[in-house]
Structure formats: C-alpha cells, structure tokens
C-alpha cells in the first residue's frame, strides 16, 4: 500500500504578510486551497492514507476538519521537527509501504503519481525524486546519464549530463521511511548523507505545469493557470461582492471577499474574506495585507 505525507508546517515567510492571515498550503488556487489540489492528485492515484503536519496557524487547518481534510491525519508540531522529522512523525500514523512526500506549497495537477510509485519499484530505487529537466549545470540538481542525482547543494557525486529542478515531491521505499531521523532535513540529513555513502537517488522527469505557491509570483501564476484550465477569464466565489463599477480581468475573488472601487482588477487574487480596491494589477490581497506579485523574468 502507498501512503502520502504533505509537508505543511512552513512559516510561509516569502508570502508575508499574507501568511500572517492564512497558512501557506491553504492559499487559494482558483476555487480550492492549494493543498486540496494536491489531495485531488493523490486520490486520483488511489492514495487515501494521507497525513499532514502543521505548525504555523494550525487553527486554519482546523476550520477544514469537517471538509476536504475530514479523512486526513493532521498532526500539529508545537516545535518544528524539520522536513525529515515531520515526515517521520506523521508517517508513524500511516500504513506500511511506499511513502509519497509532497511539499505543501507545490501544485502540479498533472503529476503522474502512479508512474512515480511504479518507477521506484521497477528500478528498485530507495529514493526517487520528481524533477523538471533543464540544461546541464543549471537548476537545483544535476543528473548523470541514468538520471540519478549527482549534484546537490554544491556537492558533486558523479559526472553531470543535464541539470534539473527538484519539484519538492518524492517517493521513498518502506525501509527508507523507517530510517528517517526524528528531527532534521530531508535534504541535509537524509539525501546528502545517502549520496556521500555512494548510494543513488533516482529521478522521474516531469515537464508538465507546476507552481510553487509559496511566492507571490508563483501563487498568482498558479491561479492564472487554473483559470486557463477551466476556460475562464476570471472567477468570483458565490457570495463574494464585486462592485458594479469594477471589471475583472484574469482575476480570482475568493469566498466572502469584497472588491470595491472603480476600474479594472487585472491579474489579481483576492483571498477568502479579503478586500481590494480597484484599479489594481498583479496584486494579492487578504483582509489587511496587500502583496504585489512581481513580473516574472524569462531567461534568454
């Protein structure tokens, strides 16, 4: 059986002050919180045994305890245990078998979880990371000719053929999940020691859409992509108020939100219960916080 852990204990520093009002994994992506989209991918792959760790603003997760989190193991960490410790703590509540570990700020609606788990078993890999390929010596990791990781955090373990970006999603075998430390990092205290011992970490290439909603630009991009997938220009939650003098363009307005003013809201996200005054462009708005989403620079 395959289980999954979603890492949701982060402080959401890059999204502050929005994250002072709402926990990062619950930031909206269209009509649902980011973590709900992740759960949808896992459930579509038949994974029902899922755990979540929390730390920052745990009361936000409690509000969803009778909704989409009703059948999820939610464990609060009064003191942050790190990514490895958080996984170990939650995984102890889950059934035995392979374990998918997914960062709670990564939205990837087309991620093939079935293929990820199957690849680990077929290759008899202890750890398998999901990566997006890039040019050699670029990205957060380097890969050899077999797709194994040979560059990580400045350390090298073989000849790099191509670079890649790690998505923050991986699967580990039953034995490896049992060896996780009670505290520490999945990269610094698990992956790097593993590679230093001459062992391998395999990868699954993914070239579909994915977004890190932990940054203002990433959160906006994820919402714009959600609108495109739905075939919508904009979306307003039932019960949200948008003044008749305001026109929405590529904008998401959450449940209970209010938009006033006169003009256009373009490329904006108004959080549930948030407020924003038009005109505005590339703005994320909560109840009090306003965070601009900088234009993204495309590499030449």
Domain boundaries, the chain: 3-211, 222-292
CATH code for the structural domain at 3-211: 3.90.550.10
For residue 26, the number of C-alpha atoms closer than 13 Å in the C-beta half-sphere is 26
Kindly tell me if the per-residue pLDDT of 95 is higher than 70: yes
DSSP for 134-182 reads ESTT-SSEEE-TTS-EEEETTEE-S---EEEEEEEEEEE-HHHHHT--S
pLDDT digits (tens, 9 = 90+) for 151-174: 999 999 999 999 999 999 999 999
Q: Which residue spans within 104-143 are E strands per DSSP?
A: 106-107, 127-134, 141-143
pLDDT confidence band for 297 (50 / 70 / 90): low
Q: How far apart are CA 162 and CA 148, in angstroms?
A: 10
Measure the CA–CA gap between 116 and 179, rounded to whole angstroms. Answer: 21
Q: Is the pTM value of this prediction over 0.75? A: yes
- The values of phi and psi at residue 293, to 5°, are -105, 110
Q: What is the mean pLDDT of the chain?
A: 96
Tens of pLDDT, residues 211-262: 999 999 999 999 999 999 999 999 999 999 999 999 999 999 999 999 999 9
Question: Is the confidence at residue 108, as pLDDT, over 60?
Answer: yes
Q: Which residue has the tokens 């936000």?
A: 60
In tens, the pLDDT along 51-64 reads 999 999 999 999 98
pLDDT at 300 over 50: no
Number of helices (H), then strands (E), in the chain: 7, 23
270 secondary structure, DSSP code = E
H or E element: which one contains 86? helix 82-91
Q: What is the pLDDT of residues 14-47, one digit of tens each?
A: 999 999 999 999 999 999 999 999 999 999 999 9
């Amino acid at each position: 059986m395959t289980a999954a852990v979603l890492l949701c204990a982060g402080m959401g520093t890059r999204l502050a002050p929005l994250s002072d009002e709402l926990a990062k994994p619950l930031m909206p992506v269209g009509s649902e919180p980011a973590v709900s989209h992740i759960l949808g991918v896992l459930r579509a792959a038949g994974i029902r045994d899922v755990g979540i760790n929390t730390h920052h603003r745990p009361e936000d997760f409690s509000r969803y305890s009778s909704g989409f989190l009703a059948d999820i193991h939610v464990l609060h960490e009064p003191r942050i245990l790190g990514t490895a410790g958080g996984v170990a703590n939650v995984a102890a509540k889950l059934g035995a078998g392979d374990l998918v570990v997914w960062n709670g700020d990564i939205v990837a609606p087309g991620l093939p979880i079935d293929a990820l788990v199957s690849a680990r078993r077929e290759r008899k890999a202890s750890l398998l990371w999901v990566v997006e390929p890039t040019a050699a010596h670029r990205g957060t990791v380097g890969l050899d000719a077999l797709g194994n990781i040979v560059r990580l955090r400045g350390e090298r373990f073989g000849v790099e053929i191509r670079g890649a970006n790690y998505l923050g999603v991986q699967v580990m075998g039953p034995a490896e999940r049992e060896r996780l430390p009670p505290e520490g990092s999945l990269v610094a205290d698990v992956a790097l020691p593993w590679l230093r011992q001459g062992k391998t970490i395999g990868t699954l290439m993914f070239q579909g859409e994915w977004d890190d909603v932990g940054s203002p630009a990433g959160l906006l991009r994820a919402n714009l992509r959600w609108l495109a997938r739905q075939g919508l220009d904009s979306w307003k939650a039932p019960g949200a108020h948008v003044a008749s003098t305001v026109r929405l363009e590529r904008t998401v307005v959450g449940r209970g939100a209010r938009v006033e003013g006169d003009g256009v809201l373009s490329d904006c996200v108004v959080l549930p219960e948030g407020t924003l005054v038009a005109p505005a462009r590339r703005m994320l708005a909560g109840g009090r916080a306003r965070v601009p989403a900088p234009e993204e620079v495309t590499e030449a």
